Amino acid sequence: MSFSQAATASPQSPYAGALASGPYPVLPDGMQRSQVRDLLLELRRALKLSQAALLTLLQIVERTRPSDWTSRDAEPVCYARQVRLAAELGKSERAVRYDEARLERMGLIERRTLANGARTSHGGCGLVLSPLIERIPMLLALRERQRAEWDARAALLARRSALYRAVKTTLMEAQEARPGNADVREAAEAFLSWPGTGELRAMSMEALSGHVQDAGRLADRLDELLEDCCDSSGRTAERFRSYIQATTQTSPESCNAPANADASYERDGEQDRASRKPPAPPAGLDRLTPRTLRSVASEELRLYLDAEAQGREPRMRDFTLAAIRRLPELGVNPSAWEEAAEAMGDEAATLAVLVIDANRDHPTAPVRKPGGLLRAMARRQRAGELNLLGSLIGLMERRRG
């Protein structure tokens, strides 16, 4: 049931048709009037409120006393007449009257007036916000559900972005290794049919999830095609190690600067990153086998890795997809992942997440802000100051000890 349906189905407000007396409903503990404004702004689409109606409601809220939202001895009431609200909002009285009627039908306000329709502070006659206060717990729950869906969608888009770049890279290798092969050609046609950014954003969660699953199956199929024509024992290890970036900073644990900027998913960005040629791997990478990396990962990351690998030897893509699934539990914003992937590539960003996650229990310098650290590592990578290999080797030594 939508919010509008719930509001329509709810019983008539106990305040209707009479001057109510206390005690009055109040906001949840710690919540203030300003946070009500933020809540309404965030939920506008979920509430199916037009921009015009929302602006009217926010102006009504603004014309109440902040203390009346938290005191059981008073209730928030807007006493401004329609002509005053219209002047403040830059619209006609008729438009304000329409907005008020709409808000009342939704159960967000109650119009309480004298017999002649006047609004006055004597007797509390005006636009009463007590019905909105009563619905705040429901609105907070709605916001949590909406945020959870946004996080789930962001995670799916991040998985699709990683799969896009992995499939493009593997497809080019397969076309070079098996020119003219019908299976490779079919895989290329499937890849070219993938939806673009606009289509992805318009997809339902169910459709997006299905597409990401199909993308994963295509990636697995391309890996199988490569393994059929190559020496898999040598080829797999070589491809795994070649993904890892060569960098030069001593330890990522000193980077803790948080950032909150949002970043959106862009298909052009994943095309650019997929086209970059990885640098020559530095000495010591022969120690970074899939089994070794799995052994130093956190227990939680290993669980996701095993789910991605499904019983076979894990590939670098499995580590990437597992790391993306781990991000919400670490409190890492999807934009921080995109920033790291842009700066150092998906594979090195994956290893950065592995290091950050594993070092949350570091005996002397535990990671407290994983998202801020991931952004700081991205900045150090751009400055040529990140020694990711050294951090990985240090992690292996600590695990061994």
Residue with the two structure tokens 């070219």? 192
Sorted by sequence, the CB contacts under 8 Å of residue 116 that are 6+ apart come out as none
Q: What angle do CA 322, 324, 327 make, to 5 degrees?
A: 115
pTM above 0.85, yes or no: no
pLDDT of 61 above 80 = yes
Model pLDDT for residues 80-106, shown as the tens digit of each residue: 999 999 999 999 999 999 999 999 999
pLDDT of 238 above 50 = no
Cα(165)–Cα(345) distance, rounded to whole angstroms? 10
Q: What is the pLDDT of residue 7?
A: 43
Alpha carbon separation from 341 to 287, 336, 345, 394 (Å, rounded): 23, 9, 4, 22
Domains of the chain: 3-128 (1.10.10), 143-400 (no CATH)
70's enclosing H/E stretch is: none
Tokens matching residue 144? 């949590």
In whole angstroms, what separates CA 2 from the centre of its chain? 23
The stretch 140-169 carries a mean pLDDT of 92
Cα(58)–Cα(325) distance, rounded to whole angstroms? 38
Cα(95)–Cα(180) distance, rounded to whole angstroms? 66
Best-predicted range by mean pLDDT (112-116, 204-208, 279-283, 285-289): 204-208
66-80, 178-192, 239-253, 326-340: range with lowest mean pLDDT:
239-253
Model pLDDT for residues 333-347, shown as the tens digit of each residue: 889 999 999 999 998
Q: What angle do CA 186, 189, 195 make, to 5 degrees?
A: 140
DSSP code per residue over 274-311: HHSPPPPPPTTGGG--HHHHHHHS-HHHHHHHHHHHTT
φ/ψ of 351, rounded to 5, equals: -65, -30
Q: What angle do CA 90, 92, 98 make, to 5 degrees?
A: 115
**Residue among 106, 83, 144 at smallest CA distance from 8:** 106
* C-beta separation of 248 from 386 below 8 A: yes
pLDDT of 271 above 70 = no
Tokens matching residue 94? 């008729």
Tokens matching residue 2? 């939508």
Alpha carbon separation from 49 to 4, 129, 212 (Å, rounded): 9, 17, 32
**Residue among 364, 330, 365 at smallest CA distance from 352:** 330
pLDDT of 172 above 70 = yes
* C-beta separation of 259 from 365 below 8 A: no
Tokens matching residue 280? 């020559």
Dihedral of alpha carbons 389, 395, 399, 401, sign: positive
* C-beta separation of 323 from 301 below 8 A: yes
Name beta bridge partners: 78. Answer: 127
Cα(199)–Cα(48) distance, rounded to whole angstroms? 23
Count CB neighbours of 62 within 10 A: 14
DSSP code per residue over 164-210: HHHHHHHHHHHHHHSTT-HHHHHHHHHHHTS--HHHHHHS-HHHHHH
